[in-house]
């Protein structure tokens, strides 16, 4: 996932949320174009270390054009989320059927034309102004067919136990494979 146009003084919270959605909804990483923002990186690392998926990569200060060109050279597909694109439901099967790694581009401010041209697909979640966080969540949900909503990160230290009422979080100190089994048992029995 490539985040364009991050403005450190203004976008810390939104960019962090884009990264949180990317991790929780099954993306393999986030790259933040242009600037370095240690506070965003630290926030995402903290979540990753507690909630798992340590293979989720986080980098900032990347050159976005170079990053996209490198992605394309490695046979990857580039999807730019924009309200001006083709509706997600009209292209999601085609994108999924390619069977290639997908780089999803999400902008913060007005996205320069070059990114529309570099993208293999310009995809709209809807044709109204909306949040880039919501757009990424809907796109990843469509891409993975809802399977990402049950993502279990085997290296997590914390797991939520689903409940009708109340909040229950289980801390697991075992090794990775044991952690995942403990969590599956918690989900099955409802007891941590």
Q: Tell me, what's the pLDDT at 162? A: 87
Q: Tell me, what's the pLDDT at 123? A: 98
Residues 130 and 165 in one domain: no
Q: Is residue 99 part of a domain?
A: yes
The series of mean pLDDT values per 10 residues for the chain, 192 residues long, is: 85 92 96 92 96 94 97 97 97 96 93 97 95 96 93 87 90 64 62 52
Q: Is residue 166 part of a domain?
A: yes
Q: Is residue 23 part of a domain?
A: yes
Residues 127 and 176 in one domain: no
Residues 45 and 125 in one domain: yes
Q: Is residue 153 part of a domain?
A: no
C-alpha to C-alpha distances, 149 to 25, 29, 77, nearest whole angstrom: 7, 17, 23
Residues 112 and 179 in one domain: no
Domain with 179, as residue range(s), is 158-189
Q: What residues have CB less than 8 Å from 66, skipping those under 6 apart?
A: none
Residues 82 and 173 in one domain: no
Q: Rounded to whole angstroms, how far apart are CA atoms 111 and 20? A: 22
Q: Tell me, what's the pLDDT at 171? A: 87
CATH number of the domain that residue 17 is part of: 3.40.1280.10
Q: Is residue 29 part of a domain?
A: yes
Residues 19 and 112 in one domain: yes
Residues 163 and 144 in one domain: no
Q: Tell me, what's the pLDDT at 101? A: 96
Give me the number of domains the chain comprises: 2
Residues 105 and 30 in one domain: yes
Is the pTM for the entire model greater than 0.85?
yes
Q: Tell me, what's the pLDDT at 161? A: 86
- pLDDT tens digits for 59-106? 999 999 999 999 999 999 999 999 999 999 999 999 999 999 999 999
Residues 128 and 50 in one domain: yes
Residues 117 and 169 in one domain: no
Q: Tell me, what's the pLDDT at 5? A: 85
What is the Cα 4 distance to its own chain's centre?
14
Residues 46 and 94 in one domain: yes
- In the block, tokens 């290639």 appear at 100
By C-alpha distance, which of 79, 156, 158, 86 is closest to 121? 79
DSSP string, 140-155: HHHHHTTGGGG---TT
Q: Tell me, what's the pLDDT at 25? A: 95
Residues 74 and 124 in one domain: yes
Q: Tell me, what's the pLDDT at 177? A: 58
Q: Is residue 24 part of a domain?
A: yes
């Amino acid at each position: 996932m490539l985040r364009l146009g991050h403005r450190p003084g203004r976008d810390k919270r939104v960019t962090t949320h884009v990264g949180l959605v990317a991790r929780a909804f099954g993306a393999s990483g986030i790259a933040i174009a242009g600037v370095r923002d240690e506070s965003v990186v630290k926030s995402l690392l903290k979540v990753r270390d507690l909630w798992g998926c340590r293979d989720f990569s986080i980098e900032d200060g990347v050159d976005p054009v170079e990053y996209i060109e490198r992605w394309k050279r490695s046979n990857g597909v580039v999807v730019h989320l924009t309200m001006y694109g083709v509706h997600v439901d009209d292209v999601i099967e085609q994108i999924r059927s390619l069977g290639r790694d997908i780089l999803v581009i999400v902008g913060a401010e007005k996205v320069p034309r070059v990114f529309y041209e570099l993208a293999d697909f310009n995809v709209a979640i809807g044709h109204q102004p909306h949040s880039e966080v919501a757009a990424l969540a809907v796109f990843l949900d469509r891409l993975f067919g809802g399977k990402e909503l049950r993502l279990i990160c085997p290296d997590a230290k914390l797991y939520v136990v689903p409940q009708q009422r109340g909040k229950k979080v289980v801390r697991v100190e075992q090794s990775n494979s044991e952690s995942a089994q403990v969590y599956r048992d918690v989900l099955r029995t409802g007891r941590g």
